[in-house]
Chains A and B, each alone.
Chain A
Amino acid sequence: MFSLERWQEVFETISKNKLRTFLTGVSVASGIFILIILLGVSVGMQNGIEEQFERDASNIINIYPGETSLEYKGLNPGRRIQFTNEDYELALSNKEEVERKSSLYRIWNGLVSYKKEFGSYRVEGVLPDYQFLENASIIEGRFINQSDLENYEKHIVIGNRVKKDLFKDASPIGEYISLSGLNFKVVGVFTDPGGDREEARVYIPLRTAQVVYGAGNNIRSMGFTLPKVDDYEQALTESKEFTAKIERQLKAKLLVNPLDTSGIFISNNIENTKEIYQLISAMKIFFWFVGIATLLAGIIGVSNIMLIIVKERTKEIGIRKALGAKPMSIVGMVLHESVFVTAFSGIVGLILALALLEFIGPMVDLDFMVNPSVNFNIALTTVVILIVAGAIAGFFPAWRGARIKPIEALRDE
């Protein structure tokens, strides 16, 4: 099938039918090109939407204390609930299910100053995992770590907004800033997809915050995430079971009526992200549909061209058969040529599209389009599918060519 002689014959035919080969190649290459660009745009839009909606971790569960509304065990309604470190530890007794966890102590307006610049920002005492709950990423330095916590370090991680306000373009790492009259060493700068509002914050170690602000054991809230599950419904069920369990435990410990809806608030982000999940999956379906339709059009195009090629070569095939070409050698000739042309131009289209995405992709940063790119394996798979499908679709024209009767082919003068 793939003898050297056949290759020579194929190359000879190709090189002597440049226009035909070129047109076939262009149609295949442009098909693949469009498909890859489309897949890239799909990924870009997905990135864009995720960035728009995911200010915090998509599956974060936050628990806040409230004010009781029902009397319970002789306690009057209207009682303020206060969380402490022990409550957090209690919630953590379900540890094996939790992926990220942090408790939090917050001051709404902390005065922060550096040299002559100052501003009022939200100050949060947190644990190391808090970075992931907030979906914050570090631009410089590091986040609060376990050793900061254990040693009551006066270390501070500032938001990008704070950095711009106080330091302009200079690097703040290692500098000391004043927070509520105490000097804190800046160890990191973070950015948050929540934008300016969430970047106008500073984070310090929880225990440091509790000491500095005289909060003792008190915490303001706690947050958790569960390990990510692909299936939305499963994720929802698991997180509901988890929150119900914690609610029961906390209510029992803090003497809150089990029926009370305002003593303890649990906000489960996963319920809010249902729309995003649905939007992204709808979009994926749409782009797959368009992609498969494009691929199908490409395959039909290839087999169409091959049908025309066989038709155009009817006489030539008749001559070859009169000279002793066997049917299988005709099938082999047509298939070999078409598979070679499809594969070659498919890969050219693939490389062009990948190059375009590689160069243009990182520059694209619109509201709903971020870094369009494509998984190389997916791209390669589509090329393989196109070649295989093209060969299968091309087999019928080839077979038709092999069935051509030499007399009829040679008669049409």
Chain B
Amino acid sequence: MIEIKDLHKSYKVGKNALHVLKGINFSVKEGELVSIMGSSGSGKSTLLNILGILDEADEGTYHLDGVPIKNLNERIAANYRNKFLGFIFQSFNLINYKSALDNVALPLYYQGISRGERNDRAMSYLEKVGLAEWATHKPNELSGGQKQRVAIARALASHPKVLLADELTGALDTKTSYEIMDLVQKINDEGKTILVVTHEEDIAQMTKRIVHLKDGVIINDEKVEQVRAIENV
């Protein structure tokens, strides 16, 4: 599903170039649940941005579902993001003046789907994350866990190939974090490919594979025995 070869990325900080990613080789198959771990400054967010077509690598190749991601103009990049990827952020990033339902329906708006169908599909995803009754509520009327569920529903709404989650439990307490991870695991069980960036060991243990990143290179990539989140709630 994801094929990365010899990926390099550096940022200019003043006169110096900050070499953030120093040759990443990495691949993810369909249906995997992978966590990317590392301390801050290890390059995990940069890697996620590149994977999410929000940023572009300097060197190396990146194939997403067999499509080369290289030198895309903004329009095509936007199209690919919409078609291939679903994002889940630490700070939820819901649009605060839109209801939960409208937030979930937004990616479908950019796919050019009619309003009626958009709302039907958005509603079915809200049911899936257990928030059907909260459809008309605005984000500020929801708890952190509920907001993240809405964000997950939104990420799923456009039928993406891959879900990318950036510290998705970073703003939540442990119990809520595990509930969210339980939802993530269930979605993965249905066959969705999911990448989770985290620095929390217990969250990483709930995925099926952990990739350790340090100073811009992968130092460890191992499959782990998945801990089911539901058992720890």
**Given the complex, which residues of A lie within 8 Å of B35, measured CB to CB?**
none
Q: List 29 A-B contacts (CB under 8 A).
A: A5-B114, A8-B115, A12-B98, A12-B102, A16-B97, A316-B95, A318-B93, A319-B95, A320-B106, A320-B110, A321-B81, A322-B52, A322-B54, A322-B87, A322-B93, A323-B107, A323-B154, A324-B78, A324-B110, A325-B78, A325-B110, A326-B74, A326-B79, A326-B110, A328-B75, A406-B54, A407-B49, A407-B55, A410-B93
Q: Answer yes or no: B26 CB below 8 A from chain A CBs.
A: no
A51 CA to B98 CA, complexed, in Å: 60
Q: Establish whether residues B93 and A5, one from each chain, have CB atoms under 8 Å apart when the complex forms.
A: no
In the complex, what distance in Å separates the CA atom of A323 from the CA atom of B97?
17
**Residue total for A at the interface (Cβ-Cβ under 8 A):** 27
Residues of chain A lying within 8 A (CB to CB) of residue B95: 316, 319-320
Chain A min CB distance to B16 (Å): 20
Does A377 interact with chain B (Cβ within 8 Å)?
no
B186 to chain A, nearest CB (A): 23
Which residue in A5, A13, A328, A402 is a CB contact (below 8 Å) of B97?
A13
- In the assembled complex, A329 has its CB within 8 A of some CB on chain B: yes
Contacts of A320 in B (CB 8 A): 95, 106, 110
| Those 7 A-B pairs whose CB atoms lie nearest each other, nearest first | A324-B82, A16-B97, A324-B110, A326-B78, A323-B107, A407-B54, A327-B74
Query: Interface code B9-44, partner A: CB below 8 Å = 1, 0 otherwise?
Result: 000000000000000000000000000000000000
Which residues of chain A have C-beta atoms less than 8 A from B107's C-beta? 323-324
Minimum Cβ distance to chain A for residue B184 (Å): 19
> Which residues of chain B have C-beta atoms less than 8 A from A97's C-beta?
none
How far in angstroms is the closest Cβ of chain A from B116? 11
Q: Which B190-231 residues sit within 8 Å CB-CB of chain A?
A: none
Q: List chain A positions with a Cβ less than 8 A from chain B.
A: 5, 8-9, 12-13, 16-17, 315-316, 318-329, 402, 405-407, 410, 413
Judge whether B111 is part of the interface by a CB distance below 8 angstroms.
Answer: yes
Are B81 and A322 interface neighbours, CB within 8 A?
yes
Distance to closest chain A CB from B150 (angstroms): 13
A329: B residues at CB distance < 8 A: 110
Give the contacting residue for A324; candidates B83, B97, B114, B115; CB below 8 A: B83
In the assembled complex, which residues on chain A have CB atoms less than 8 Å from the CB atom of B115?
5, 8
Q: Check B97 against A321 for contact (C-beta < 8 Å).
A: no
Given A5-B115, A405-B54, A407-B49, check contact A326 B75 (CB 8 Å): yes
Contact assessment for A17 and B97 in the assembled complex, using a CB-CB cutoff below 8 Å: yes
B87 touches A323 (CB 8 A): yes
Closest to A329 in B: B110
B81 touches A324 (CB 8 A): yes
In Å, the complex CA distance between A326 and B97 comes to 21
Query: B91 contacts the other chain (Cβ, under 8 Å)?
Result: yes
A296 to chain B, nearest CB (A): 32
Q: Closest chain A residue to B52 by CB distance?
A: A322
A-B contact count (CB 8 A): 67
Contact count band on B: 20 to 34
| B84 (CB) vs chain A CBs: closest residue | A324
* Chain B residue, CB-CB nearest to A412: B91
**Min CB–CB distance B9 → chain A (angstroms):** 12
Q: How far is the CB of A62 from chain B (nearest CB, A)?
A: 75
Q: Which residues of B contact A9 (CB under 8 A)?
A: 109
Question: B158 within 8 Å of A by Cβ?
Answer: yes
A11 to B94, CA, bound (A): 19
Which residues of chain B are near A319, meaning CB under 8 Å? 93-95
Q: How far is the CB of A341 from chain B (nearest CB, A)?
A: 16
A398 to nearest B CB, angstroms?
14
Inside 8 A of B74's CB, which chain A residues have their CB? 326-327, 402
A5 in contact with B109 (CB, 8 Å): yes
Task: Check if B89 is an interface residue, CB within 8 A of chain A.
Answer: yes
In the complex, A402→B78 CA distance in Å? 12
Report B-chain residues with C-beta under 8 Å of the C-beta of A316.
95
Whole-angstrom distance between the alpha carbons of A406 and B89 in the complex?
12
Please name all residues of chain A whose beta carbon is closer than 8 Å to the beta carbon of B54 when the two chains form the complex: 322, 405-407
> What is the distance, in angstroms, from B156's C-beta to the closest C-beta of chain A?
12
Inter-chain contact B79/A324, CB cutoff 8 Å: yes
What is the distance, in angstroms, from B179's C-beta to the closest C-beta of chain A?
Answer: 23
Residues in A with CB closer than 8 Å to B75 are 326-328
- Shortest CB-to-CB span from A311 to chain B, Å, is 16
| Set B89, B110, B158: member contacting A410, Cβ < 8 A | B89
CA separation between A402 and B75, bound complex, in Å?
11
| Smallest CB gap from A408: residue in B | B54
Measured CB to CB, the nearest residue on chain A to B91 is A413
- Chain A residue with minimal CB distance to B81? A324
Asked whether A324 lies within 8 Å of B158 as measured between CB atoms, the reply is yes
Q: Which residues of A contact B102 (CB under 8 A)?
A: 12
In angstroms, Cα B51 to Cα A367, docked, is 77
The answer for the CA separation of A9 and B109 in the assembled complex, in Å, is: 9
CA A9 – CA B106 in complex, angstroms? 10
Q: Give CA–CA (A8, B116) in the complex, Å.
A: 12
A323 to B114, CA, bound (A): 17
- Roughly how many angstroms separate A328 CA and B76 CA in the complex, as a whole number? 12
What A residues does B81 contact at CB under 8 A? Answer: 321-324
Determine the distance from Cα of A58 to Cα of B17 in the docked complex, in whole angstroms: 80
Residues of A within 8 A of B52 (CB): 322
Q: Which residues of B contact A5 (CB under 8 A)?
A: 109, 112, 114-115
* Minimum C-beta distance from B225 to chain A (A): 33
Q: Measured between C-beta atoms, what is the minimum distance from A190 to chain B in Å?
A: 67
Alpha-carbon gap, A13 to B95, bound state (A): 11
